[in-house]
C-alpha cells in the first residue's frame, strides 16, 4: 500500500513539474521574442528606404510546388508576379496534378513549351517539360511526374537560376513587400543561410488581382482558433528561438534559403512528410558538425497568407502529418543532439523538441488522464488537481493572450475592435478542449510514425472563398 501511495505521489509531482517546465519554457521564449521584436522592428531602417538598397538585394527564385491546386493557383502566382523586388523569377512546379492545375496555368498565363537546358543537381522524378509565359518573362512552369512536395521543390531548385530560392505554398498569397523584407538578413549578414517569415490565416480575408485587399476574420470557429495558434507559434516560438540561432523549423509555406547551402546538404529529402522541418534541422547539423559559421533566422514582418483547414477531418490529418514529420526530422538528425559544437540548437532546442514536442502528446495526454481519473476516484486531492489545472490550462491562456498582445503592439493587422475582442476570447476558450483535441491528433501522428503509416501531401481541401478572382 505504501509503495502504491508513493507511486501516486511521484506521478502527481512528475506531471505537475512537466507541465510547469514546458509552460514556463514557452513563457521564457515569450520574453526573448519580445526583445527580438523590439530589436528587429526598431532596427530595420532599410525597409523604410527600399529603393536606396535595390542594388544590394540578391536575385531570388520563387519556387511554387503545386499538386491539385486549380482553385487557388492563379491568384497565388499573380500575387508573386507583383512583388516589389528588383530581380526575381517565379517557378511553378506542377507535380503531376490530377486536376486542372496545369490547364489553369496555361490559360491564365499564356504558357508555351520552352526548350531549356535542365541541370540535374538533385535527383527528381521525370520532368515532362518546361513552359514559359508569353506575358510574364520571369514566369516558368515545370511539368513533372508526381513525386511529392520535396521532389517538386528539388526540381524547382534544379531549374532555378539565382543564388537564393524562396519556397512558397501554392495556396498562399504574399504581401507585395514580403520578398524584400525576408531577403534583408542575407544582406545584413553573409553568414545567413535560411530565413523564415510569418504565416497568417487567409480565411475570412479578401484577395483580388493577386493582392490581399481586406483583412478579415473567418466566419467559423475552427479557422479562427488557428489564428491564435499561428500567432503563438510564429511570434513567440520561432522568434524566441531565432534570438539564440536555434530555430529548428521554417514553414514550408514561406522560407528563403541560400541555394548552395541546401544543395551541399543534399536538398529536400523525399522520405519524410516533414521535408521543410527536416531540411532546417539538417542545415543546423551539417554546419555545426563542420564548424561552418551560419545563421538561421526568423523575421516577423514579411507575411505570407495561407488558407487553413475549415473541417475537423482535414485539420486532424494536417496535425497528424506535422507530428509525423517532427518525429522523422528529429530521428534523422539525432547527430545534432548534444553535438560538441551544437550550441543552443544542439544542447537546448533539440532536446526541448524531443521532450516537449515529440514526446509531448504521450506525456501530456497521460497527465490529463491521470489527474482527471485520479481526482474522480479520490486518489488525487482537490488542491493538487487545482494546481495542475492552473499550470496546465491557465499558463496556456497566458501564452495565447500574450501572443495576441504582442501582435497588437507590433502590427495591429486586425483593425476593428470587435475582431481583437473576438481573438482575445478565442485565446482563452481554445485552452478548454481545442488544444487537448490537437494533442490527440498529434498522438495519432506519433502512432503513424511508430507503425510506418505515411500520409500523402497535398490532400487538404481548398475552399478558395477568399479568392475574388475565381471564375
For the stretch 368-409, pLDDT in tens is: 999 999 999 888 889 989 999 888 888 888 888 887 887 777
- What helix, strand, coil percent values describe the chain, rounded to 5? 55, 15, 30
Cα–Cα nearest to 234, from 221, 215, 247: 247
Half-sphere exposure of 178 (CA within 13 A, CB side): 29
Contact (Cβ atoms closer than 8 angstroms) between residue 72 and residue 171: yes
Please indicate, yes or no, whether the overall pTM of this predicted structure exceeds 0.85: yes
pLDDT in tens, 346-361: 999 999 999 999 999 9
Per the structure block, which three cell numbers stand in for 33?
A: 521574442
Contact (Cβ atoms closer than 8 angstroms) between residue 60 and residue 165: yes
Q: Which residues, including other chains, have CB under 8 Å from residue 255's CB and lie 6 or more apart?
A: 166, 167, 194, 195, 196, 197, 276
Question: Environment class of residue 291 by beta-carbon count within 10 Å: exposed (0-12), middle (13-18) or buried (19+)?
Answer: exposed
Q: What is the mean pLDDT of the chain?
A: 87
Please, what is the Cα angle at 420 between 415 and 421, to 5 degrees? Answer: 140
Run means of pLDDT, 10 residues per run, the chain, 471 residues: 78 92 84 76 52 71 93 87 92 94 94 83 93 94 94 96 93 86 92 93 82 84 91 79 93 93 96 93 97 94 86 93 94 95 95 95 94 90 90 85 78 82 91 93 94 62 54 44
Query: What is the rounded end-to-end Cα distance, in angstroms, of the chain?
Result: 72
> Concatenated DSSP letters for 219-285?
SSHHHHHHHHHHHIIIIIIIHHHHTTT------TTEEEEEHHHHHHHTS--SS-S-HHHHHHHHHHH
Catalogue all structural domains in the chain, each as residue range(s) with its CATH number: 22-354 (3.90.550.10)
Q: Which residues partner with 196 through β-bridges?
A: 255, 298
Contact (Cβ atoms closer than 8 angstroms) between residue 258 and residue 185: no
Amino acid at each position: 500500500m505504501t509503495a502504491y501511495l508513493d507511486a501516486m505521489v511521484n506521478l502527481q509531482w512528475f506531471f505537475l513539474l512537466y507541465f510547469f517546465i514546458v509552460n514556463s519554457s514557452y513563457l521564457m521564449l515569450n520574453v526573448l521574442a519580445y526583445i527580438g521584436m523590439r530589436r528587429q522592428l526598431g532596427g530595420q531602417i532599410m525597409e523604410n528606404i527600399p529603393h536606396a538598397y535595390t542594388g544590394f538585394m540578391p536575385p531570388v527564385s520563387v519556387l511554387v510546388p503545386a499538386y491539385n491546386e486549380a482553385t487557388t493557383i492563379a491568384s497565388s502566382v499573380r500575387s508573386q508576379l507583383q512583388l516589389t523586388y528588383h530581380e526575381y523569377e517565379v517557378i511553378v512546379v506542377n507535380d503531376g496534378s490530377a486536376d486542372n492545375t496545369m490547364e489553369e496555368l496555361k490559360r491564365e498565363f499564356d504558357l508555351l513549351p520552352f526548350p531549356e537546358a535542365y541541370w540535374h543537381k538533385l535527383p527528381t522524378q521525370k520532368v515532362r517539360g518546361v513552359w514559359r509565359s508569353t506575358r510574364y518573362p520571369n514566369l516558368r512552369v515545370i511539368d513533372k511526374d508526381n513525386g511529392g512536395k520535396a521532389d517538386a521543390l528539388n526540381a524547382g531548385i534544379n531549374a532555378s537560376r539565382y543564388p537564393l530560392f524562396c519556397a512558397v505554398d501554392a495556396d498562399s498569397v504574399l504581401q507585395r513587400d514580403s520578398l524584400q523584407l525576408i531577403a534583408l538578413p542575407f544582406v545584413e549578414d553573409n553568414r545567413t543561410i535560411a530565413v523564415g517569415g510569418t504565416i497568417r490565416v487567409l480565411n475570412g480575408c479578401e484577395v483580388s488581382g493577386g493582392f490581399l485587399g481586406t483583412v478579415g476574420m473567418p466566419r467559423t470557429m475552427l479557422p479562427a482558433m488557428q489564428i491564435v495558434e499561428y500567432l503563438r507559434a510564429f511570434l513567440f516560438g520561432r522568434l524566441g528561438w531565432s534570438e539564440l540561432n536555434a530555430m529548428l523549423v521554417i514553414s514550408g509555406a514561406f522560407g528563403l534559403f541560400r541555394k548552395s547551402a541546401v544543395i551541399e546538404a543534399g536538398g529536400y529529402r523525399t522520405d519524410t512528410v516533414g521535408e521543410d522541418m527536416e531540411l532546417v534541422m539538417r542545415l543546423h547539423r551539417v554546419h555545426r558538425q563542420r564548424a561552418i559559421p551560419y545563421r538561421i533566422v526568423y523575421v516577423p514582418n514579411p507575411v505570407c497568407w495561407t488558407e487553413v483547414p475549415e473541417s475537423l477531418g482535414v485539420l486532424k490529418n494536417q496535425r497528424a502529418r506535422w507530428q509525423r514529420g517532427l518525429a522523422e526530422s528529429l530521428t534523422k538528425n539525432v547527430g545534432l543532439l548534444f553535438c560538441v559544437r551544437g550550441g543552443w540548437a544542439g544542447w537546448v532546442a533539440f532536446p526541448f523538441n524531443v521532450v516537449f514536442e515529440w514526446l509531448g502528446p504521450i506525456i501530456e495526454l497521460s497527465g490529463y488522464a491521470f489527474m482527471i481519473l485520479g481526482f474522480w476516484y479520490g486518489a488525487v486531492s482537490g488542491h493538487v488537481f487545482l494546481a495542475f489545472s492552473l499550470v496546465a490550462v491557465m499558463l496556456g491562456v497566458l501564452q495565447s493572450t500574450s501572443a495576441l498582445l504582442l501582435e497588437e503592439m507590433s502590427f495591429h493587422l486586425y483593425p476593428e475592435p470587435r475582431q481583437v475582442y473576438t481573438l482575445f476570447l478565442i485565446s482563452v476558450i481554445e485552452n478548454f478542449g481545442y488544444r487537448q483535441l490537437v494533442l490527440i491528433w498529434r498522438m495519432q501522428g506519433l502512432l503513424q510514425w511508430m507503425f510506418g503509416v505515411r500520409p500523402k501531401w497535398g490532400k487538404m481541401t481548398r475552399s478558395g472563398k477568399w479568392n475574388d478572382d475565381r471564375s
